[in-house]
Amino acid sequence: MSHIVLLGDSIFDNGAYVRRGEPDVTAQLQAKLPQGWKATLCAVDGAVTTGVEQQLARVPSGATHLIVSAGGNDALRNSGILRDPARSVAEVMTKLADVRDHFASNYRTMLDAVLERRLPTALCTIYDARFPDPQEQRLVVTALSIFNDVIMREAFARRLHVVDLRLICDEVDDYANPIEPSAQGGDKISAVIAQVVAGNTIFPRSQIYAH
């Protein structure tokens, strides 16, 4: 029997954001797993990358797979930089580089702790979100690419599977609000996770080659 544990933030712990009577991601994943398999939620709404290490203490002893969705709240905490005044493009890039370096350090530390469990692990990217103002949406997507680059690099360097939420949650109705997944979005996310842990996929595979 496989036991999938969800770590991270409200991408998985989205029960407070779906409509009354609608299932959260964990319930949707459980419904998609083969009989006898189990899904457990350890993710916490609002958690940042450094909080995942605390969640690891609650991972059940029988866990067989770990799925991590972290980084969105780190980006949210740094979103004020998009409104900071700047005297040059170089100044803006320096600020963004500082944010990236700090996040990269935290993400690597978190991932080291996760991989100490020596369990099959998959990482989620940060999805594009859905802000009503087109200009704000454009800025957010551009800024998030910095965080996603860190996630993708770490995943490829460690030969981990990636669940790219940017490609999964690609419709307005996938979002309960600008930054949280709806039941529709959760259904799509859980469907891909179920395929990942089953060791197969309904999608053509991309191969990443790294030294």
Res 90: pLDDT: 87
- Count other Cβ atoms within 10 Å, centred on residue 192: 22
Residue 3 phi, psi (nearest 5): -135, 105
pLDDT of 24 reads 97
pLDDT of residue 199: 79
What CATH number has the domain bearing residue 126? Answer: 3.40.50.1110
For residue 208, being part of any structural domain is answered with no
Cα 207 to Cα 119: distance, rounded to the nearest angstrom: 21
In a domain, 205, yes or no: no
pLDDT beneath 70, residues of the chain:
200-205
Q: Residue 173 corresponds to which tokens in the numbers above? A: 């109705």
Q: Is there a domain that residue 203 lies in?
A: no
Per the structure, the complete domain to which residue 10 belongs is given by: 3-198
* pLDDT for the residue numbered 198: 86
The domain tally of the chain equals: 1
Instruction: Indicate the pTM of the whole model.
Output: 0.93
Q: Could you please report the per-residue DSSP string of 11-59?
A: TT--TTTSPTT---HHHHHHHHSPTT-EEEE---TT--GGGHHHHHTTS
pLDDT score for 119: 96
